[in-house]
Chain A
Amino acid sequence: MTQAPTTTMTGDSHGSYPSYLIGFVLAVILTVASFAAVMTHALSPGMTMAALTVLAVVQIVVHLVFFLHMNTSTEQSWNLMCFIFAAASVIVIIGGTIFIMHDTAINMMSR
């Protein structure tokens, strides 16, 4: 009786062999795409940077979903909320730092 729910949970929030393998294959494809974008010089530097950012964000989501088993179920809502708060903090820290230091450099004519 306890066996049945355990197996369904294994498939849901703890992952399964197929879900790990799907995540792994997606991660490999995205990683190879990142390296190829830089090593082939196919795009302009600005576009390469944009491509790297997009590929990194997508790969982070792939890892979160397939390896850290993040989802939108009610059981995980606190995990998700904390993650969103942390991610927002990180975006403010990195974006704000780049913005302010760039502005300072321009005004100090150091660049």
Chain B
Amino acid sequence: MAHEATMSPLAHADDHHGEHHESPNVFGFWLYLMTDCVLFGSIFAAFAVLRNQFAGGPSGKELFDLTNVGIETAILLFSSITYGFASLNALAKNKKMVLLWLAVTFVLGVSFVGLELNEFSSMIAEGNGPDRSAFLSAFFTLVGTHGLHVTCGLIWMVVLMVQMMGPQDLSERMMNKLACLSLFWHFLDIVWICVFSFVYLAGVM
């Protein structure tokens, strides 16, 4: 009791400065991510059922280029750690470094989307688009949904970078926004782990 009484004024003071307690905004965003988890789970379930329905068309073995997938994986993993560096610099209130690491993350994200679009367009050009077989429909839906999420994350990143420009310090609001995008970005890397394991690697087996 006495402990609580002495602690509470301090705890309240800290509450207003944030950092100690996760903001409800960040928790709300976490809840959104959990629903996104269920969305991806459903698409993975559809892919699991349709992964062998080739309708006489090409299988993953003929379509997938593991070198390309390896490069995409490496890019996304690097972008995760560069975003991590941006987060750490945000905590240290070092705005210039935050902008720098966000820019690096953005470039990596753009190259990931570029490689994916390149892969998609060459597949479609060879007549292996989403209309070729149930397997390809499921493949384009799953990998395309992930790519669309990454693209949204990139647009969000640009918006935050623009909002951060100028002489003002990093506000509490901006810290929350950065924390939400951090969760989003790392979450997309987790989804990609499942994509490269169960779509690409299992597909070429």
Chain A positions near chain B (C-beta within 8 angstroms): 2, 5-6, 9-10, 14-17, 20-21, 23-24, 27-28, 31, 34-35, 37-39, 45, 48-49, 52-53, 55-56, 59-60, 63-64, 67-68, 75-76, 78-79, 82-83, 85-87, 89-90, 93-94, 97-98, 101
Is B169 interfacial (CB 8 A cutoff)? no
Which of B81-137 touch A at CB < 8 Å?
81, 84-85, 87-88, 91-92
B contact residues around A2 at 8 Å (CB)? 14, 17
Given contacts A60-B194, A63-B190, 14 further A-B contacts (CB under 8 A): A2-B14, A2-B17, A10-B91, A15-B84, A31-B77, A35-B201, A38-B205, A56-B197, A63-B80, A75-B22, A82-B34, A86-B35, A86-B37, A87-B37
CA–CA, A42 and B121, complex, Å = 33
Q: Decide: B198 and A52 in contact? CB cutoff 8 A.
A: yes
Contact between A52 and B80, CB atoms less than 8 A apart: no
- Cα A2 to Cα B20 in complex, Å, equals 11
Contact among A14, A31, A37, A64 for B91, CB-based, below 8 A: A14
Interface residues on B, range: 35 or more
Complex-state Cα separation, A67 to B182, whole angstroms = 9
Contact status A86-B197, CB under 8 Å: no
| Contact B204–A38 (Cβ < 8 Å) | yes
Q: How far is the CA of A89 from the CA of B204 in the complex (A)?
A: 28
Q: B73 at interface (Cβ–Cβ under 8 A)?
A: yes
Given contacts A34-B196, A67-B189, contact A93 B41 (CB under 8 A): yes
Contacts A59-B193, A86-B34 given; indicate if A94 touches B48 (C-beta within 8 A).
yes
User: Chain A contacts of B194 at CB under 8 A?
Assistant: 56, 60
Query: What is the predominant secondary structure among interface residues of chain B facing chain A?
Result: helix
A75, B88: Cβ atoms closer than 8 Å:
no
| In the complex, chain B residues whose CB is within 8 Å of the CB of A82 | 30-31, 34
Contact B87 A14 (CB under 8 A): yes
User: Do the beta carbons of B44 and A94 come within 8 Å of each other?
Assistant: yes
Residue in contact with A31 in the complex, picked from B14, B27, B40, B73, CB distance below 8 Å = B73
